[in-house]
Amino acid sequence: MHEGAESLSIAAPAKINLFLDVLGKRPDGYHDLRSLVVPVSLVDELKVEKTDGVIEAVCDGSELPEGHAGLVPGSADNLAVRAAQRLREATGHRGGVRIHIHKRIPVGGGMGGGSADAAAALVGVNALWGTGLAPADLMVLGAELGSDIPALVRGGAVCMEGRGERVTPIACRWPAGTEWWLLLVNPGFSVPTADVYRRFRTGLTSPDETFTNARFALERGAVTLAAASLHNALERVVFVKYPLLRVVAERLKAAGALGVLLSGSGASIFALAADRRHAEQMENEIGCDAGCPLWTRVAQVLPDGVMAAHGPLEARA
């Protein structure tokens, strides 16, 4: 479809975890997870263009929260670059790629920004180079680079298990016109994921009923049930270390959120709203008197599959 294109554009949506349970620690040091992951309408934009051989990233961080641009690794350590390198190793392709990344997803925010860029790079560069790997193959490569990447390569609402390598799509049959609006809030600082898991002590897992309800709510588009079934096993340990986040969560509840949860390992918090206006009202209400200026965005959940998550690839000859 994109044969001969010199460049392609691709969207990399952020994710939130509506449900995240940590089931135990594995012998390899990673944790076994069970999580419901959905993309949201806050996107990084990638443009991938062919080069003779070099693989590099150029980042524009002008739309990130203040201070975040400096946190995005320039090239060698950028996850999008590592994804393209891994794809080249796996396929023996000879060309290179320059990856322009227009970042909007807060860094170290539990919204999978780096993973989303890596997933979009795998999908976009595979199409640009014509290397022809199937989505399942891209997911296997992605799993080597980060736990959230297979889910984000698949796109849409998924259940993620193991350390992230087992991804089951959730068939969302939402009544026509159903939309889920939410407010994303980031305090401006990053939370290192590895540190959260180091502090985490496996205890009681959440009741199966909570997971079943959350999945059912996602399948049917029932936002009130979803809000009542939100769960994140990491939230307590993150709130203990960063009490400001608990204050933000309480303020969002007081502003009438249907449900409030830490996304992933933080530092972002999301608040489910009844509709767009409600999300905008909450945004006005939480203001900036929580102790530090807060970054906020009104966004929508994107429950559909790959094309909804990544957007159609736009080719340029």
308 near 155, Cβ under 8 Å? yes
Q: Which residue is nearest to ligand ATP (CB)?
A: 114
Beta bridge pairs of residue 49: 7, 98
Q: Tell the smallest beta-carbon distance from residue 109 to ligand ATP (Å).
A: 5
Nearer to ligand ATP, 91 or 193 (CB): 193
Output the six-digit token pair for 216.
């059912």
Nearer to ligand ATP, 192 or 256 (CB): 192
Stretch that binds ligand ATP, among 19-27, 109-117, 237-245, 277-285 (CB under 6 A): 109-117
Q: Which long-range contacts (CB under 8 A, 24 or more apart) does 250-253 make?
A: 251/285, 251/286, 251/290, 252/183, 252/185, 252/282, 252/286
Report CA-CA distances (Å) from 171 to 76, 179, 304: 37, 16, 8
162 near 31, Cβ under 8 Å? no
49 near 157, Cβ under 8 Å? no
Nearer to ligand ATP, 105 or 222 (CB): 105
Question: Contact with ligand ATP (CB under 6 A): which of 65, 96, 146, 156?
Answer: 146
Does 7 help bind ligand ATP (rule: CB under 6 A)? no
Q: Which residues 274-303 are close enough to bind ligand ATP by CB under 6 A?
A: none
Length of the chain, please?
317
Q: Tell the smallest beta-carbon distance from residue 302 to ligand ATP (Å).
A: 17
Stretch that binds ligand ATP, among 74-82, 84-92, 131-139, 177-185 (CB under 6 A): 74-82
Q: Cis ω on the peptide bond leading into residue 12 (within 30° of 0)?
A: no
Nearer to ligand ATP, 126 or 265 (CB): 265
Does 37 help bind ligand ATP (rule: CB under 6 A)? no
Token pair 């502003």: residue? 255
Q: Which residues 187-226 are close enough to bind ligand ATP by CB under 6 A?
A: 193
CA 303 to chain centre: 13
Q: Which residues are catalytic?
A: 15, 148
Nearer to ligand ATP, 232 or 265 (CB): 265
Question: Contact with ligand ATP (CB under 6 A): which of 39, 65, 96, 108?
Answer: 108
Residues whose CB is less than 8 angstroms from the CB of residue 289 and which lie 6 or more positions away in sequence, other chains included:
none
Q: Find the helix or strand (DSSP H, E) in which 154 lies.
A: helix 149-154
Question: Contact with ligand ATP (CB under 6 A): which of 113, 124, 259, 303?
Answer: 113
Does 80 help bind ligand ATP (rule: CB under 6 A)? yes
Question: Contact with ligand ATP (CB under 6 A): which of 2, 23, 32, 71?
Answer: 71
126 near 142, Cβ under 8 Å? no
Question: Contact with ligand ATP (CB under 6 A): which of 18, 22, 79, 139?
Answer: 79
Nearer to ligand ATP, 183 or 262 (CB): 262
Does 265 help bind ligand ATP (rule: CB under 6 A)? yes
Choose among 159, 263, 155: nearest CA to 214: 159
* Residues of this chain that bind ligand ATP (CB under 6 A): 71-73, 77-80, 101, 107-115, 117, 146, 148, 193, 264-265
